[in-house]
Structure 1
Amino acid sequence: MANGTPYLTAHGAAEALEFYVSAFGAAEDSRWTGNDGRIGHAQFGIGGAVFYIADEHPEVGVLGPKSLGGTPVALMLEFDDPDAVFERAVAAGATVDRPMADQPFGERNGWLFDPFGHRWGISSRPAEIPVAELRAKVGDAYEIT
């Protein structure tokens, strides 16, 4: 059996943790701060999801999305009230990528970038929709199995 935990890197991990607390309701579990003041490792939770984060350490090739010019990774969070969380994240400094909208596959979601360059999807829990109904809604755009 394997488990996985997303490990984020940010230029300003302490500020990123503050953002995640105010925007997503995160709770910090632990923090290891080096003698140079940089976070070497911190653990936080958002709902039942666990994340790790560290400051950039360029001397060993650890860089965040801003230093790398973007990220190919997106992190998805589900909330009972995704609109409120999305608005709170934008008020805390996130940039809207795609606004909140109802999706044909049964959820409401929107996408944003946090101030540290990480991309987040904010979503409701998807509704249970039979595959035949999903196929009818999406048409030829996707093959759904």
Structure 2
Amino acid sequence: MSEVNPIPPDRPFVVPYMTIGARTDGSPGGAADAIEWYTAAFGARETNRQMAPGGDKLMHAELVLGDGLIFLADDFPEWGGEASAPAALAGSTVTMHRYVADCDATIDKAVAMGAEVLMPPADMFWGDRFGSIRDPFGHKWSIATHVRDVTPEEMEAAAAAMFAEGPDQQQSEG
């Protein structure tokens, strides 16, 4: 019997696993549609797709996004006892974060493809140009471009100033 590495050598990190359901506008969606969207909007590359018996649902897929990996599948509440796609949960508790060369262009492209802006891009105190969206499948994404280095002391002072202003004030160095 051969030795099997319990952790595949190309996966020593946390891999987000997204459950995909209907689109946020209520139209049919699903993992296959999400793969098309993530490929077009973010440049993801599909490396693995496994359909469930019968071929009507995607049981597992793998996408490479930059240097990262994302797993995704259709929602299967009939097997797990409860639906877990964002639409079934009335939202998502997780935000996927991605660094890109041009935050504004990436968000603009995603919005043109049906994403909703949650926070418009702005220059943030921690040194990133940063904004966030909700994709058409209900998943939240924060998109950032690092624009300047900030010392821990500068960041601490800026965070204290932002919290002193309160949550209704958007912190930006625009």
Q: Same fold (TM over 0.5)?
A: yes
* Range that drifts further, 7-16 or 119-128: 119-128
The residue that corresponds to 1:54 in the other structure is: 73
- The counterpart of 1:41, out of the listed 49, 55, 60, is 60
Unaligned 5+ segments in structure 1 are none
Q: Which has the higher strand share?
A: 1
- For 1:32, the aligned partner's letter is Q
Name the % identity. Answer: 36
Deviation for aligned residue 1:26: 0.6
Aligned to 1:75: 96
Residue 25 (structure 1) aligned with residue 35 (structure 2): no
Q: Give CA-to-partner distance per residue, 1:5-44, whole Å, 9 cap, x none.
A: 0000001000111110111111111100123320000000
**TM alignment of 1:57-136, pairs within 5 A:** 57-61=76-80, 62-125=83-146, 127-136=148-157
Alpha-carbon distance in 1 for matches of 2:156, 2:90: 37
CA distance in 1, matches of 2:67, 2:77: 31
State the shift of 1:93 in Å: 0.8
Aligned length, in residue pairs: 142
CA distances 1:78-126 after superposition (whole Å, capped 9, x unpaired): 0011111111111111011111111011001111101111000011136
Moved more, 114-123 or 124-133: 124-133
Flag structure 2 segments of 5+ consecutive residues without an equivalent.
1-6, 22-29, 165-174
